[in-house]
Amino acid sequence: MLSQFEYIKPLVLDEALTFLAEHEQTYILAGGTDLIIMLNKNMIDAKYILDVKSIPDLDVFKFTEGEGLEIGANVTVNELVESDVVQSKYRALCEAASVLATEQLRNRATLVGNICNASPGADLPPSLLIYDATVKIASAKGERSVPLRTFFTGVKKTLLNKDELVVSVFLPDPGKQDNSIYLRQTRLRGHDLSTVGVACRLNGDGKVAIAINAVAITPLLLTDLSDQLNAKGLSEESILWASEEIKKHIKPITDVRASKEYRSHMAGILLKRCLGQLTGKEV
Amino acid sequence: MAQKAENKACAMTTAHAESMERRVRLTCRVNGQFVVEDIDPTMLLLHFLRDRLKLFGTKEACGEGECGACTVIMNGRPVTSCLVLAIEAEGSEITTVEGLAKNGELSILQQEFIELDALQCGFCTPGMLMSARALLDRNPDPTDDDIKEAMSGNLCRCTGYRQIFDAVKKAAKREREELKRS
């Protein structure tokens, strides 16, 4: 590791925000499963590493009936997997969290870190997008909340300013009759990144939301597609239509994991499987 | 003099030449032993265990959390020590493969790895043992799928995994029987 950083571990949020505002080349450390790889490979030159794990404000992990679930920046992926609320209310998120990387990494990696790293193939964003997640952001100047669908701006890029830190992600209470699913294609059954992953939600009003990863420069919430599908109504026919139509809404590339044609094809197959399982229709 | 030259070469290959100025104090427990050391903040937990504490059981291979050879148990959970800064272990409880044997006797899990030939070159074995130990600590009666999932972050290039899987399963059974007897 070439970086000769100083290690800072503030105990209150304000202290962290002031430090961020006043020091360039500061990198935020939560789980470290992306950051420490970048440090090990000398991909970044860090002057300061700001460890946020001792800030109690970021430990929040609280569900309020009728409102929703707030997931703080220090909540690890395995804490999501083990949470009764996530299991019962946000099934797709539980499924995505349980296939993310390996047991060892899930014990360190955080949900907020997964979105801040902004990999187009990250497993968690589709399952957050279908629940209209919002991101709570803080800086020394104040707080703001943005919808997650506007948070990603490119490959490994977000709308976060350098002096800002994500405090938490908020998921509205989906209500009772809600169900969701996350399916992904990988090259092998064990530990692999998603070649393409689809999350679908069927809410209490029978409306569908669809999100997808690894087929564009950012994870995508496919609102046009789901609007059209909802207008048609859910049937075996419309599901088959959507699994073809989805190919017009994505821009996959060819890389080491798959060709763009395969990604496009699998996007359709996964969508069909997701909707089939959610509706109980045989497609 | 020869000793000095050797140390220097060693420091250069481990790629974390320590700075004397920016030392931070690390206090933790490793295999039940209280440890207080002044370290460079850029030092990884993996290198702290190996280079400082001379616990060479924990192995370095990929350095990016893919292979699991550096797995240790930190506060009851398995983690890849190549992706943890040593200073992040402040106040924590670490168990390495050296902490598994008690009073000079190998643990049931280690005995079963030997018994069922769950290793060939042995390089991945400490990581395998730590993932398995963490699994059995939180789930003494795992299903076959639980074992596969818990071990999927550990790569082995020799055995083909079957013997490892069998060893974990048999160790779980023996541990449960032992518990009933006691």
In chain A, which residue ranges form alpha helices assigned H by DSSP?
A: 13-22, 35-40, 77-81, 84-89, 91-99, 103-106, 111-117, 124-129, 223-232, 236-245, 260-279
Only one residue has tokens 């530990």, namely A191
Structure tokens at B111: 């005995």
Q: What is the pLDDT of residue A191?
A: 78
Determine contact, residues A116/A81, Cβ cutoff 8 Å: no
- pLDDT, one tens digit per residue, over A205-246 is 999 999 999 999 999 999 999 999 999 999 999 999 999 999
pLDDT confidence band for B4 (50 / 70 / 90): very low
Which one-letter DSSP state was computed for residue A58?
A: G
- pLDDT, one tens digit per residue, over B126-138 is 999 999 999 999 9
Would you call A33 an interface residue with chain B, using a CB distance cutoff of 8 Å? yes
Q: What is the pLDDT of residue A192?
A: 83
pLDDT of residue B124 exceeding 60:
yes
Q: Tell me the average pLDDT across A270-279.
A: 98
Would you call A41 an interface residue with chain B, using a CB distance cutoff of 8 Å? yes
pLDDT confidence band for A188 (50 / 70 / 90): confident
CA A176 – CA A260 distance, rounded (Å): 38
Q: What is the pLDDT of residue B171?
A: 98
- pLDDT, one tens digit per residue, over A133-174 is 999 999 999 999 999 999 999 999 999 999 999 999 999 999
* Interface contact B82-A107, CB threshold 8 A: no
Would you call A4 an interface residue with chain B, using a CB distance cutoff of 8 Å? yes
Enumerate residues 23 to 52 of chain B having a beta carbon within 8 A of any beta carbon in chain A. Answer: 24, 41-42, 44
pLDDT of residue B15 exceeding 60:
no
- pLDDT, one tens digit per residue, over A39-58 is 999 999 999 999 999 999 99
H-run or E-run covering A70: strand A68-72
Out of A7, A33, A78, the one facing B83 most closely (by C-beta) is A33
- pLDDT, one tens digit per residue, over A74-123 is 999 999 999 999 999 999 999 999 999 999 999 999 999 999 999 999 99
CA B120 – CA B157 distance, rounded (Å): 9
Structure tokens at B161: 């995994």
Q: What is the pLDDT of residue A270?
A: 98
Asked if the interface predicted TM-score (ipTM) of this complex is over 0.90, the answer is yes
pLDDT confidence band for B20 (50 / 70 / 90): low
DSSP, collapsed to helix, strand or coil, labels residue A190 as: coil
* Interface contact B65-A51, CB threshold 8 A: no
Determine whether domain B108-181 maps to CATH 1.20.1630.10: no
Which one-letter DSSP state was computed for residue A44?
A: S
Q: What is the CATH number of domain A6-51?
A: 3.30.43
Closest CA to A95 of A172, A175, A183, A171: A183
**Structural domain boundaries in chain A:** 6-51, 56-172, 179-279
Supply the DSSP string of chain B, one letter for each residue. Answer: -HHHHHHHHHHHHTT-PPPSTT-EEEEEEETTEEEEEEE-TT-BHHHIIIIIS--TTS--SSSSSSS-TTEEEETTEEEEGGGSBGGGGTT-EEE-GGGTSBTTB--HHHHHHHHTT--SS-SSHHHHHHHHHHHHHH-SS--HHHHHHHHTT---SSS-SHHHHHHHHHHHHHHHHHHHH-
pLDDT confidence band for B157 (50 / 70 / 90): very high
pLDDT confidence band for B2 (50 / 70 / 90): very low
- Residues with Cβ within 8 Å of residue B90, at least 6 apart in sequence: B26, B27, B28
Out of B88, B134, B153, the one facing A105 most closely (by C-beta) is B153
Range list of β-strands (E), A142-262 = 142-147, 152-154, 157-158, 165-172, 179-185, 196-202, 208-213, 220-221
Out of A4, A39, A51, the one facing B19 most closely (by C-beta) is A4
Chain B nearest CA to A198, separation (Å): 22
Enumerate residues 118 to 177 of chain B having a beta carbon within 8 A of any beta carbon in chain A. Answer: 131, 134, 149-150, 152-153
Provide the terminal-to-terminal Cα distance of chain A, rounded to the nearest Å: 52
Q: What is the pLDDT of residue B13?
A: 38
Q: What is the pLDDT of residue B106?
A: 98
For chain B, give every residue range classified as CATH 3.10.20.30.
2-98
- pLDDT, one tens digit per residue, over A189-205 is 777 889 999 999 999 99
pLDDT of residue B1 exceeding 70:
no
Q: What is the pLDDT of residue A41?
A: 94
Q: What is the pLDDT of residue B14?
A: 42
CA A189 to centroid of chain Cα atoms = 21
Chain B nearest CA to A242, separation (Å): 33
Residues of chain A found within 8 Å of residue B23, distances taken between Cβ atoms = none
User: The CATH number of B2-98 is which of 3.30.2350.10, 3.40.640.10, 3.10.20.30, 1.10.3720.10?
Assistant: 3.10.20.30
Q: What is the pLDDT of residue B19?
A: 59
Q: Tell me the average pLDDT across B43-58.
A: 98
Out of A3, A6, A105, the one facing B65 most closely (by C-beta) is A105
Fold annotation for A179-279? Enolase-like; domain 1 (3.30.390)
- pLDDT, one tens digit per residue, over B56-105 is 999 999 999 999 999 999 999 999 999 999 999 999 999 999 999 999 99
Out of A41, A103, A107, the one facing B149 most closely (by C-beta) is A103
CA B51 to centroid of chain Cα atoms = 14
Which residue type does A139 have?
S
CA A109 – CA A21 distance, rounded (Å): 25
Q: What is the CATH number of domain A56-172?
A: 3.30.465.10
What is each CA distance from B48 to A273, B22, B95, in whole angstroms?
47, 16, 13
Provide the terminal-to-terminal Cα distance of chain B, rounded to the nearest Å: 56
